Chain A
Amino acid sequence: MKKILIKITSVLMFVFVSFSALSADDAWMRSYTLEAAGQYASAAQSIEHYLKEIPNNEFAVLRSAWLYYLAENYSRSIKYYQTALELNKKSIDAMLGMSLPLMAQARWREAASMTQEVIKISKWNYLAHTRLMTCEENLQQWETLKKHAETLSVYYPSDATILVYLARAYSHTNNNTEAKEVYQQVLQRYPGHLEASKFLSK
């Protein structure tokens, strides 16, 4: 009798665990499918019950934050990214992720501060630097942007985006000759680049 009870319990346990795993897999699958279909809020909601069960699941928190950012619910996205940072203070994913909804809310100073945190950990992180340049541009810190882009272009010499920021900074600091030279370099890397072509045709 005892053996039968143990066997029944084992079978029930196996069924329960398998069902749970299947249910979780389904939730992730549904979330990716809905994201691909552009239904970002539904995609986030599909993993919400999973988060309720395991609120400290870092990946689920990060994914929710990302999906709410895509759904343009920026404040909720920021809350999830903050939770992710509480779970893992060194998470570059969370810091870089959080800079996106902050920039969408035009909170350029906070976004800049967040990207600078990443740069403290990962000195030449490309995404952190390019997002910081976006913040500097929106805060009209042209001198800072000029120095920043000049330095970065040494580390990423083939990158057109950094050169575009550099050209804009030159242009706003009355260095039109330098701006033209840099926009010409942009056209070598990105033929037909609209902004560069427009500036050079002046």
Chain B
Amino acid sequence: MKYFIKRFLFCLIFISRLSYAEDASDWYMSASANVNFSAYSKAQNLDAQTELGFFIDADHLENYGLSGGLIYQNQGQKSFEDITNNILFLAARYHIYPESLPGKLSLSLDAYRESENSSVKTTRTQTPGPGSSGRPIETITTELINDSMDILNPTISFLNYTKTIYADLGYSQSEYGSTDPEIGELKVKQWTPTIGFSFNDQYNWLQFRHYNIELSNDARSPGVTKTSASEIKLTHWLKNNESSSFNNIQFIMLIGERLFAVDADARKVYNLADMQTSTYSIGGNWKRANKSEFYLYAGLENYEDTFSNESYSNIFLYSGYKIYW
């Protein structure tokens, strides 16, 4: 924990020093803190989850930017002690304005690292049933193990100058290392093509993102090496002439199957080995123009335990505050 806090503080100091640079007025800074509370229903082992995120972003005009952050996860468990993870987040982005395109191209690279990732190892064992014709008895056991997590998430995106059309192609490679030979290393490749556009005089924005995820082995999710899901986001900006006001409302729906996903927009890593089958959420943000913003989302996520095939759900409340300077 101390190690991560040190690294996070180093990033924080490095990025915040940019605002004291010679061309300080050309650096635009923001810092955000968010919290996510989840309560599970019908989950066999999972209890409440808390996730905290702290981020600092620095952008040099509209040319390039750097970000750093720390994500703290606490996953309550019914059978044993809570799982705690501290994920270090680093990101860089660079914007290009090609002559041949009517908009800007952005190249970004997000990285997540957790060297002492904790997770649950689930083992399914079969023992012969009683008598010669007895059906085998299946036993599912769980234990807490340590592994590592490294994620690289490069994205290329396009946004036209009038900000009415958006497209991106994201690729994410997640590596979950393990010292346990029964589980072994897991590599997850994720492709996320996205399109978005505005309508209703730019008061509405509709975005579609498809998740195509491939797993190198099914040791942590029996029988699953490929999943796909689609996400729809609808954002409506309110017609408001005041600088401090309720700014927008957003609906998000995800359908399909998603496992070990990386959500670049939310800077969220889904590192539970359970299949996410759907998500519905609604939220909005309150903005003080160019000063700060507060956001609040509530939603429902449905999962399927990949070992027991039992379904469970998770109701979450996500809130955050961001300041600009």
Contact = CB atoms under 8 A, between A and B. Distances in A.
A109 interface: yes
Contacts of A25: none
B243 A140 contact: yes
A72 to B, nearest CB: 8
A113 interface: yes
A111 B183 CA distance: 54
Q: Label chain A's interface by main secondary structure.
A: helix
B243 A107 contact: no
A24 B289 CA distance: 52
A106 B61 CA distance: 11
A74 interface: yes
Nearest to B26: A113
Interface string B233-244: 000000001111
Contact of B241 (A104, A107, A108, A171): A171
B61 A78 contact: no
B243 A142 contact: yes
B182 interface: no
Interface in A108-140: 108-110, 113, 116, 139-140
A74 B103 CA distance: 10
A151 interface: no
A105 interface: yes
Residue of A76, A108, A110 with most partner-chain B CB within 10 A: A110
B290 interface: yes
Contacts of A173: 243
B161 interface: yes
B300 to A, nearest CB: 33
B243 A105 contact: no
B25 interface: yes
A104 B26 contact: no
Contacts of B241: 171-172
B62 A75 contact: no
Contacts of A113: 25-26, 61
B121 interface: no
A104 to B, nearest CB: 7
Contact of B99 (A73, A107, A142): A73
Contacts, number: 49
B223 interface: no
Q: How large is the interface on A (under 10, 10 to 19, 20 to 34, 35 or more residues)?
A: 20 to 34
B239 to A, nearest CB: 13
Contacts of B187: none
B61 A110 contact: yes
A107 B97 CA distance: 10
B93 interface: no
Contacts of B321: none
Interface residues of B, number: 19
Contacts of A201: none
Contacts of B242: 172, 174
Given A142-B243, A172-B241, A106 B163 contact: yes
Contacts of B244: 174
A104 B244 CA distance: 27
Contacts of B28: 109
Interface in B228-253: 241-244
A160 B26 CA distance: 30
A140 B289 contact: yes
Contacts of A177: none
Contact of A139 (B25, B26, B99, B290): B290
B98 interface: yes
A75 B98 contact: yes
B123 interface: no
Interface in B25-50: 25-26, 28
Contacts of B62: 106-110
Contacts of B63: 110
B240 to A, nearest CB: 10
Nearest to B159: A106
B290 A140 contact: yes
B97 A75 contact: yes
Interface in A131-162: 139-142
B104 interface: yes
Contacts of A108: 62
Interface of B: 25-26, 28, 61-63, 97-99, 104, 161-163, 241-244, 289-290
29 contacts: A73-B99, A74-B97, A75-B98, A75-B99, A104-B161, A105-B97, A106-B62, A106-B161, A106-B163, A107-B97, A108-B62, A109-B61, A109-B62, A110-B61, A110-B62, A110-B63, A113-B25, A113-B26, A113-B61, A116-B25, A140-B290, A141-B289, A141-B290, A172-B242, A172-B243, A173-B243, A174-B242, A174-B243, A174-B244
Interface of A: 73-76, 78, 104-110, 113, 116, 139-142, 171-174
5 tightest A-B contacts by CB?
A140-B289, A107-B62, A75-B99, A109-B61, A172-B243
